[in-house]
Amino acid sequence: MAAQALAEGVRQFIVVGGDGTSFEVLNGLAPQLGASDPAARVTLGFLPLGTGNSFLRDFGDGSAQTAMDAILQRRARACDAVRLTHTQGVLHYLNILSYGFVADVCTLTNRRFKPLGAAGYGLGVVATLARLHSRPMRLRLDGGAIWEQDATFVSINNSRYTGGSMMMAPYADTADGQVDVVVCGKMGRLTLLETFPKIFRGHHVHHHAVTASRARMVELFEHAPVDLMIDGEVFTYQPQRIEVLPGALDVLV
């Protein structure tokens, strides 16, 4: 539908739904992201009627009223998009990409707790602890040295929130031309359970097992497809590279 609208000259869209719906619309608009011609520039507004509506929380309370006010008042600002290249193609996102424990939580939450809204993500965390494990992960940021360690999860963030009100990347900025890379090293079940509540204020990044960095490009060295949580949905791809598209679109927030 978005691709058809582009062909007809439409450049402004209202997303009715949550982060997953925004993801689908964004990828339909991918050919126009970063357009140099102002007349071709894409603008997205949002009516947050999804489960988590995490992206909008960077700009206010995430409520439908605030979102409608932004649309009516034309409160637009430039926003980065993020491009993932994987072995089967390319996709784009606005909010977050995670793999490891976070993707496992999202899979379970979508299957069992989705009707509970944002609260379902917390239940998903507790329920997924039973099969907690770390795995070797290899990354390279901005062409630097390859970083390899056993990790519980890796999260590559354009915006701050995930799962509704969980502040995964407390210092992320949607217009700084960078992603915030949060790596949680090896953790036991009890440690993760004790640390988890800190994510609601973003204080988990101060734990000694958690590392937070920023980059314009992240290379991922996975030898096989893995489950990836992207903007609240789970996909199985073999990721290769993540790049920021600075100011690729305007958002009404």
Within-domain flag for 238: yes
Q: Is the pLDDT of residue 3 over 60?
A: no
Do residue 119 and residue 73 come from a single domain?
no
Within-domain flag for 87: no
Structure tokens at 217: 């490009």
Within-domain flag for 98: yes
Q: Is 166 helix (H, G, I), strand (E, B) or coil?
A: strand
Confidence band, pLDDT 50/70/90 cuts, at residue 30: very high
Domain harbouring 23, CATH code: 3.40.50.10330
**pLDDT at position 207:** 96
Confidence band, pLDDT 50/70/90 cuts, at residue 7: very low
pTM of the model as a whole: 0.90
Give Cα separations from 32 to 40, 165, 176, 237 (angstroms). 7, 30, 20, 24
Q: Is the pLDDT of residue 215 over 90?
A: yes
Q: SS3 for 94-133, per residue?
A: CCEEEEEHHHHHHHHHHHHHHHHCCHHHHHHHHHHHHHCC
Do residue 127 and residue 203 come from a single domain?
yes
Range of the domain at 17: 2-81
Within-domain flag for 253: no
Domain harbouring 159, CATH code: 2.60.200.40
Do residue 18 and residue 68 come from a single domain?
yes
Tell me which of 36, 52, 81 is where a domain ends.
Answer: 81
What count of other Cβ atoms lies within 10 Å of the Cβ of residue 206? 11
Beta strand spans in the chain (E): 12-17, 43-48, 76-86, 89-93, 96-100, 135-141, 147-157, 179-185, 210-215, 217-220, 226-230, 233-237, 239-252
Average pLDDT over residues 165-171: 94
